[in-house]
């Protein structure tokens, strides 16, 4: 019985830790960058570019044409496991939330359910600027 309890706890722990970006924390209040690190096949690359184009159109429709998802590829000798990065810069968490809750953005994400597969093994982080303290 004890072994079953330990196995159950391990399965639960894996399920919780494997939740990924869908169970993310609230966006920061200040300006930030959202960065996704992924490994893609050539087919995945075409799929992601199409999805990002639709999401960028939805972001513009939500009133923020200055915000875009941009995709980058590693050049030269690669360090680490990820060969692609897509990023976006947000002026605030409020704008991020407003865009992601907009009907146009929701429709764009529903149009591309394959994004869940592409994001399954990603590393996702949000970064805020670090500034020096003034004397």
pLDDT of residue 5: 47
pLDDT tens digits for 5-21?
A: 444 433 333 333 333 44
pLDDT tens digits for 37-62?
A: 999 999 999 999 999 999 999 999 99
User: Which domains, from first to last, does the chain contain?
Assistant: 28-127 (3.30.70.100)
End-to-end CA distance of the chain: 62
Higher pLDDT: 111 or 24? It is 111
Please list the alpha-helical segments (H only) found in the chain.
Answer: 2-17, 42-61, 93-101, 103-111, 115-119
Q: What separation in angstroms does the CA of 90 have from each of 43, 54, 98, 130?
A: 28, 18, 11, 15
Question: pTM to 2 decimals?
Answer: 0.78
User: What does the pLDDT average to over 66-79?
Assistant: 96
């Amino acid at each position: 019985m004890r072994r079953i309890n330990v196995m159950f706890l391990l399965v639960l722990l894996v399920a919780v830790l494997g939740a990924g970006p869908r169970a993310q924390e609230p966006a920061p209040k200040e300006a930030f960058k959202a960065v996704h690190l992924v490994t893609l096949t050539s087919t995945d690359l075409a799929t992601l570019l199409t999805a990002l184009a639709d999401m960028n159109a939805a972001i513009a429709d939500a009133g923020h044409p200055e915000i875009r998802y941009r995709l980058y590829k590693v050049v030269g000798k690669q360090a680490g496991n990820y060969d692609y990065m897509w990023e976006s810069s947000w002026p605030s968490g409020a704008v991020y939330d407003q865009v992601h809750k907009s009907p146009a953005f929701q429709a764009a994400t529903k149009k591309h359910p394959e994004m869940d597969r592409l994001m399954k093994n990603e590393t996702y982080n949000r970064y805020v600027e670090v500034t020096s303290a003034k004397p």
